[in-house]
């Protein structure tokens, strides 16, 4: 359980499913002992280690997380389920069926290896508005995964999304670039301040790791970070419990 004022951690478990699909892509939908690793079992251990929520991205090409994983998570986890999804009618129907605690709307491009760039909330404003309205009517909180740009932040506020998740990927990719990195950090800093001033709750994610967390955590008004790749990578060596505990400690400098 998070202590008051502490930064929350949503653990993204997509890559546990990536590993499973690498071997069992065409296996029956069974979750039997031989179909490993089971992302749901991993989520339960991550929760025990202090994860404040579990995040999964159900991609349209189903390359990692499967619909059944999301249904099983909904039934078994005791923290919050955050479903990342593209802004499509089919995904909205699925979210309304599963009823996650939160939906984070992300851009999706079938050729990308992982989510690249934030959502163009301005460009797909009408479509977003319809999906947000349906999800809110069902009591599902909506977050928009956007670049820390004024126009996108203002559109998120106008659409009534209570949360934004600021895309930290450009900052993370600039880690060795002594000119770009401070620039990207400044963009995130101003974006977080702007979003907060408009009444949005500020989350962040993508490319956050055990090193850059020292700087990321100094961004103002942060509520929750969604972190996947670095935690699962570390878990291969330490186990998921230690990997989650260590990230939470670094997030909150304890
Ligand atoms: N937040 C969003 C919206 C994402 O799509 C992803 C995965 O690409 C993450 C956070 C987690 O990123 P990472 O795996 O780099 O920690």
Residue nearest to atom 9 of ligand 1 (CA): 206
The pLDDT score that the predictor gives to residue 5 is 73
Ligand 1 atom closest to Cα of residue 104: 3
Q: What is the mean pLDDT of residues 223-238?
A: 98
Query: What is the distance in A from the centroid of ligand 1 to the CA of 143?
Result: 13
Query: What is the distance in A from the centroid of ligand 1 to the CA of 60?
Result: 16
- Considering the segment(s) 8-251 as one domain, its CATH architecture is Alpha-Beta Barrel (3.20)
Q: How far apart are CA 14 and CA 49, in angstroms?
A: 18
Ligand 1 atom closest to Cα of residue 206: 12
Where on the phi/psi map is residue 160: left (φ > 0), alpha (ψ -120 to 50), or beta?
left
Mutate to test the pocket of ligand 1, among 15, 84, 116 (most ligand atoms within 8 A of CB): 84
What is the overall mean pLDDT for the chain? Answer: 93
Ligand 1 atom closest to Cα of residue 209: 16
Q: Give the pLDDT confidence of 57-106 residue by residue, as tens digits.
A: 999 999 999 999 999 999 999 999 999 999 999 999 999 999 999 999 99
Q: How far apart are CA 40 and CA 31, in angstroms?
A: 10
Ligand 1 atom closest to Cα of residue 169: 15
- Residue 253: pLDDT band with limits 50, 70, 90: confident
Residue 108 annotated in active site: no
Residue 57 annotated in active site: yes
Return the domain boundaries, the chain. Answer: 8-251
The pLDDT score that the predictor gives to residue 111 is 67
pLDDT(32) > 60: no
Tell me which of 57, 64, 167, 194 is the catalytic residue.
Answer: 57
Residue-level length of the chain? 254
The pLDDT score that the predictor gives to residue 28 is 57
| Ligand 1 neighbours by CB, cut-off 6 Å | 12, 57, 84, 104, 106, 114-115, 145, 165, 205-208, 226-230
- Residue 222: pLDDT band with limits 50, 70, 90: very high
Residue 206 annotated in active site: yes
Structure tokens at 95: 């979210």
Query: What is the distance in A from the centroid of ligand 1 to the CA of 131?
Result: 21
Query: What is the distance in A from the centroid of ligand 1 to the CA of 232?
Result: 12
Residue nearest to atom 5 of ligand 1 (CA): 115
Q: How far apart are CA 75 and CA 31, in angstroms?
A: 15
Query: What is the distance in A from the centroid of ligand 1 to the CA of 56?
Result: 9
Residues 6+ apart with CB under 8 A from 24: 35
pLDDT(238) > 60: yes
pTM: 0.94
- Contact status, residue 101 vs residue 79, Cβ threshold 8 Å: no
Q: Give the pLDDT confidence of 104-156 residue by residue, as tens digits.
A: 999 987 666 666 689 999 999 999 999 999 999 999 999 999 999 999 999 99
Residue nearest to atom 4 of ligand 1 (CA): 206
Residues 6+ apart with CB under 8 A from 26: none
The pLDDT score that the predictor gives to residue 26 is 73
């Amino acid at each position: 359980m998070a202590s008051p004022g502490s930064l929350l951690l949503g653990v993204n478990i997509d890559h546990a499913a990536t590993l499973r699909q690498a071997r069992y892509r065409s296996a029956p939908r069974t979750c039997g002992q031989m179909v490993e690793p089971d992302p749901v079992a991993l989520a339960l251990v991550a929760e025990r280690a202090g994860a404040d929520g579990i995040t999964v991205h159900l991609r349209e090409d189903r390359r990692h997380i499967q619909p059944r994983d999301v249904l099983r998570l909904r039934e078994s986890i005791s923290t919050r389920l955050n479903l990342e999804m593209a802004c499509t009618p089919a995904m909205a129907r699925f979210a309304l069926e599963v009823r996650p605690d939160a939906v984070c709307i992300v851009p999706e491009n079938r050729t990308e290896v992982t989510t690249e760039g934030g959502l163009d909330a301005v460009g797909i404003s009408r479509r977003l508005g319809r999906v947000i309205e349906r999800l809110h009517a069902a009591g599902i909180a909506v977050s928009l995964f956007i670049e820390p740009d004024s126009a996108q932040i203002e559109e998120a506020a106008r659409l009534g999304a209570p949360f934004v998740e600021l895309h930290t990927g450009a900052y993370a990719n600039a880690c060795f670039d002594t000119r770009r990195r401070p620039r990207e950090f400044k963009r995130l800093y101003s974006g977080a301040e702007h979003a907060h001033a408009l009444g949005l709750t500020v989350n962040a994610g993508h490319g956050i790791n055990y090193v850059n967390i020292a700087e990321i955590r100094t961004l103002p008004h942060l509520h929750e970070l969604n972190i996947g790749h670095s935690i699962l990578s570390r878990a291969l060596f330490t186990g998921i419990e230690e990997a989650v505990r260590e990230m939470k400690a670094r997030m909150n400098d304890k």
